[in-house]
Structure 1
């Protein structure tokens, strides 16, 4: 069933007027957006903090450093995904059956406690203690995106889904670009890198409290939503009358359009996490920047990515609403922007000398910035394919793609091993960037060839279609 068919099924509900001004739904969008900021801040703080953590010890400093961990750096960076891979499908199921509010509250609270404990565990248990906490943190944060997908399917109308979905997920980009300079600045102070972990752990606990007080699973459950806003949302979202529909596992895993999303998500994770985890090291060892300059320059591409997302997402919604292109053509156009331009940009860095710092930094900005197109592409395609099971679908693709998140930083060590290059050699990074470009290209082609924007028949268990648009 295509989106156009769905939109035509409920024309009698089109008479429900859109409420004026800001509503409860906007509070939910803001909570999800800010949640993504703090969650990705917690993820990113170690990626910059590790540079300070493994520096040679200075006796004048009041905090410890661990230069003996230098060979374990990429293992530590990958450990987050060791936990992240396991609980996302379960999270999607829990969100579908019971609502994500309380699971999300508990998961982010535990994740924040892990961040607060990292300095203590590093001192007491060494790098193994940090790895254990990061794995637990990753497992807890696996709840986020399946929960957000489920929430968006309830709170975001189809006609505004690209805009608000992109806004919410842009929080991860803003979280990255804020965490990098904040961590760099704090690490350069007398209090050092441990304070950066205390800062982000505290911010995350505060967000957890705000979400617990103001967050809601769906419009029907919110105590302060107006009747007008509730009716308008219910008239424009796809919702089933079956409270806990059975999950059609076989249909999901044999769905070709869903296979396209899995492949695309895997390519995105390889490219995105290679850059996110390794740009600080590239800046330090090849570009020769200090940790303060390193952190600001590493953050710059992600700040521009956030701006780019704010530009692209309303354009995506506009061309769909005005019927200039179909929903799936829009998804494929913006996904292609998000994959092929970064692939070309990464390949071009191979041919530029490391002394040309301005040009390399400019191309890295282009690489990361245009990747914002994926937020209007495959990243919300789960909801297009199945509003009912969108959280479960995101859990599946996030779990599978987390394998590539683990492999991406470890690939640096693997390339070092077989090539003989060091992290100070640009030739090493030429290989790393070339591999990432290949993943972007293959994944982008897969989405073009077999991606779909139609609601799949298995979205409706027992062939009982109860839809509200």
Structure 2
């Protein structure tokens, strides 16, 4: 059947008259919600673990390294509420970081499958696996112990690894380049909003219910997303049964196609790994991910262990920087889209500028935050500025896979994001090791290290990074 031919069923043509919202916006919105659910499922342990482990009793040697406990209405200091599990800081790091072992391994298979068979069912399958694991996590904690929890979270990570490659494939199939900065930043920014939802809801649930309901609540949310995504979304415009004719014409005009290239040559592995543009992109991804994962996995523990906040405040305050991050990523995305629409030749420049903004300036504010004493408001402000600046990455490197190779965007995203996710293992492990006594001095070392890693690997991208389509995007067949 020729490209652009109307092969929709009769019911689809009729239904298209009643769906006024362009389908590419629906796909972007559902992709955004998919990443939100991905993050609520993976992050469900991050706040909850503060109420699973035995409360830390600070010795005289370490008391000077933490802030005073909050006082209740009577002026008495409040005692930290702990759980029954005697897990060391290192063990907590292993539990949090084990997710990313599977996450790394899940990326490339998901990218290859998304390009070959379409992103829809790859994304659904990965989300379903992660949802089931989250549902049985309380059982593992209660009866199987930390080793079983580590294994389950590794499996969960493998399923969640489908998220970014699949969403990148959806962007490549649905969104023209001049809309990609804004819609791409919106979709990929679901991670920040997912962290906001996860941390704030977790704090409330831990305050008013048992910790098990954190996992059950996010399981229900993800299951609802799976149901509606199956009904509403499709891998590409060609396979969509009720896309409107007006949108089909628009996409054909700006993208030159409606469906995937089912006959494209195999992925050009050699050309990709010989490309300095790819290696500079990988370096910038590693930089971003290190800073992001330190904040994502350990910021609630920093607020709980060092500032010694109550659980409701821990959940609320730990969500604020990520809310700022999300709004900033949209703002940076809008600016990038405006610049590129005015002159597409500026795409490379804007990707580099946005990536730099998200790197060194972001790390500087992380360091400032741990030198202002115990003033909670100033600390949250500094971390919020830091994460807001990090939003530049989402109009920068996060869209480079689509810029460099639209035909292979899912696998490029899988390679880059997968390698970057190694930091999801290393950052929690190293943070748990550095913060053995959970003092402010130790946390300063954590954020100095984050500044260093945010800066150095980003430099090659600012030199060799590109938004130009590469020659190997259209490899010749033998």
SS at match of 1:192: coil
2:277 corresponds in structure 1 to 257
Determine if contact 1:270/1:408 at 8 Å carries over to the other structure.
yes
Deviation at 1:310, TM superposition (A): 2.2
Supply the distance in 1 between the matched residues of 2:458 and 2:123 (Cα, whole angstroms).
31
- RMSD value, Cα: 2.1
Supply the distance in 1 between the matched residues of 2:220 and 2:370 (Cα, whole angstroms).
41
Supply the distance in 2 between the matched residues of 1:82 and 1:369 (Cα, whole angstroms).
28
State the TM-score, normalizing by the size of structure 2: 0.87
Greater CA deviation, 319-328 or 262-271? 319-328
Determine if contact 1:268/1:443 at 8 Å carries over to the other structure.
no
2:152 corresponds in structure 1 to 133
Deviation at 1:241, TM superposition (A): 4.6
Supply the distance in 2 between the matched residues of 1:246 and 1:215 (Cα, whole angstroms).
26
Q: Structure 1, residues 394-414: CA drift from partner, whole Å, max 9, x if none?
A: 111122112111000111233
Supply the distance in 2 between the matched residues of 1:280 and 1:380 (Cα, whole angstroms).
29
Supply the distance in 1 between the matched residues of 2:317 and 2:371 (Cα, whole angstroms).
21
Deviation at 1:101, TM superposition (A): 1.1
Supply the distance in 1 between the matched residues of 2:415 and 2:261 (Cα, whole angstroms).
24
Q: Structure 1, residues 78-137: CA drift from partner, whole Å, max 9, x if none?
A: 010011111211111111111111121121111101101011111110112221221111
2:305 corresponds in structure 1 to 285
* Matched length: 434
Supply the distance in 2 between the matched residues of 1:290 and 1:365 (Cα, whole angstroms).
20
Supply the distance in 2 between the matched residues of 1:455 and 1:463 (Cα, whole angstroms).
18
Corresponding residue to 2:442 among 412, 428, 436: 428
2:322 corresponds in structure 1 to 302
Deviation at 1:349, TM superposition (A): 3.0
Deviation at 1:455, TM superposition (A): 0.3
1:22 corresponds in structure 2 to 21
- Describe the shift of the 1:345–1:325 C-alpha distance in structure 2 as closer, same or farther (beyond 3 A): farther
Following superposition of structure 1 onto structure 2, how do residues 69-148 of structure 1 map, counting pairs within 5 Å?
Answer: 69-71=87-89, 72-148=91-167
SS at match of 1:91: helix
- Describe the shift of the 1:128–1:104 C-alpha distance in structure 2 as closer, same or farther (beyond 3 A): same
1:197 corresponds in structure 2 to 215
**1:41 pairs with 2:34:** no
**1:361 pairs with 2:380:** yes
Determine if contact 2:106/2:157 at 8 Å carries over to the other structure.
no
Deviation at 1:290, TM superposition (A): 1.1
Supply the distance in 1 between the matched residues of 2:372 and 2:476 (Cα, whole angstroms).
58
2:286 corresponds in structure 1 to 266
Deviation at 1:285, TM superposition (A): 1.4
1:182 corresponds in structure 2 to 201
Supply the distance in 2 between the matched residues of 1:105 and 1:266 (Cα, whole angstroms).
27
2:13 corresponds in structure 1 to none
Deviation at 1:67, TM superposition (A): 2.8
2:248 corresponds in structure 1 to 230
Q: Structure 1, residues 37-72: CA drift from partner, whole Å, max 9, x if none?
A: 111111111111111111459xxxxxx943312341
Supply the distance in 1 between the matched residues of 2:312 and 2:146 (Cα, whole angstroms).
24
SS at match of 2:266: coil
**1:207 pairs with 2:225:** yes
Structure 1 runs not aligned, ≥5 long: 1-18, 58-63, 465-469
Determine if contact 1:319/1:325 at 8 Å carries over to the other structure.
no
SS at match of 1:225: coil
2:266 corresponds in structure 1 to 246
Supply the distance in 1 between the matched residues of 2:344 and 2:109 (Cα, whole angstroms).
38
1:219 corresponds in structure 2 to 237
Corresponding residue to 2:414 among 381, 395, 402: 395
Deviation at 1:358, TM superposition (A): 2.1
State the TM-score, normalizing by the size of structure 1: 0.89
Determine if contact 1:96/1:244 at 8 Å carries over to the other structure.
no
Determine if contact 2:92/2:432 at 8 Å carries over to the other structure.
no
1:409 corresponds in structure 2 to 428
